[in-house]
Chains A and B, each alone.
Chain A
Amino acid sequence: MELTRRSAILLGASAIFVAGLPKIGAAATGDDLIAEFTGGAEVGEGDLKLVAPEIAENGNTVPIEVSSGSAAEILVLAMGNPTPSVATFKFGKLAASRAASTRIRLAGTQDVVAIAKLEDGSFVKASSTVKVTIGGCGG
Chain B
Amino acid sequence: MRKLTGAILATLLTTPVAFADPVDDTLVLNEETEIVTRTAAPDHLSDSLDEVMSGWLFRGKETRAMQADDFDNPGMIFVEQAMDSWNAVDGSEGKSCASCHDGLETMAGVKATYPKWDEAAGKVQTLQMQVNECRTERMGAEAWPYDKGNAINMEAALSSVSRGLPVNVAIDGPAKETWEQGKDMYYTRTGQLELSCANCHEDNYGNMIRADHLSQGQINGFPVYRLKNTKLNGSHSRFKGCIRDTRAETYKPGSPEFIALELYVTSRGNGLSVEGPSIRN
Contact = CB atoms under 8 A, between A and B. Distances in A.
A45 to B, nearest CB: 25
Contact of B62 (A53, A135, A138, A139): A53
Chain B residues touching A, majority SS: mixed
A133 B233 CA distance: 21
Interface string B137-160: 000000000000000000000000
Interface of B: 59-63, 66, 208-214, 227-230, 233, 237-238, 241-242, 245, 281
B210 A57 contact: no
Contact of B242 (A57, A61, A62, A139): A139
A137 B241 contact: yes
Contact of A57 (B62, B209, B214, B233): B62
A90 B3 CA distance: 61
Contact of A60 (B62, B211, B230): B230
A136 B241 contact: no
Prevailing SS type, chain A contact patch: loop
A139 B237 CA distance: 8
A133 B229 CA distance: 15
B123 to A, nearest CB: 27
22 contacts: A56-B62, A57-B59, A57-B63, A57-B227, A58-B281, A60-B227, A60-B229, A60-B230, A61-B227, A63-B62, A63-B66, A134-B210, A135-B212, A136-B209, A136-B210, A136-B211, A136-B213, A136-B214, A137-B241, A138-B228, A139-B233, A139-B237
Given A53-B62, A61-B230, A135-B212, 19 more contacts: A55-B60, A57-B59, A57-B60, A58-B228, A58-B281, A60-B227, A60-B229, A63-B62, A133-B211, A133-B212, A135-B211, A135-B228, A136-B210, A136-B213, A136-B214, A137-B209, A137-B245, A139-B233, A139-B238
Interface size class of A (residues with CB under 8 A): 10 to 19
Contact of A58 (B61, B213, B227, B242): B227
Contacts of A139: 233, 237-238, 241-242, 245
A78 B147 CA distance: 34
Contacts of B237: 139
Nearest to B245: A137
Contacts, number: 53
A104 to B, nearest CB: 12
Interface string A96-139: 00000000000000000000000000000000000001111111
A136 to B, nearest CB: 3
A23 B238 CA distance: 45
Q: Which 3 A-B pairs have the closest CB atoms?
A: A139-B241, A136-B212, A136-B209
Q: Which one of A60, A138, A139 has the highest number of Cβ atoms from chain B below 10 Å of its Cβ?
A: A139
Contacts of A56: 62
A131 to B, nearest CB: 9
Nearest to A136: B212
A53 B61 contact: yes
Given A57-B59, A63-B62, A138 B211 contact: no
B74 to A, nearest CB: 8
A60 B228 contact: yes
A55 B210 CA distance: 14
A137 B242 contact: yes
Nearest to B230: A60
B42 to A, nearest CB: 25
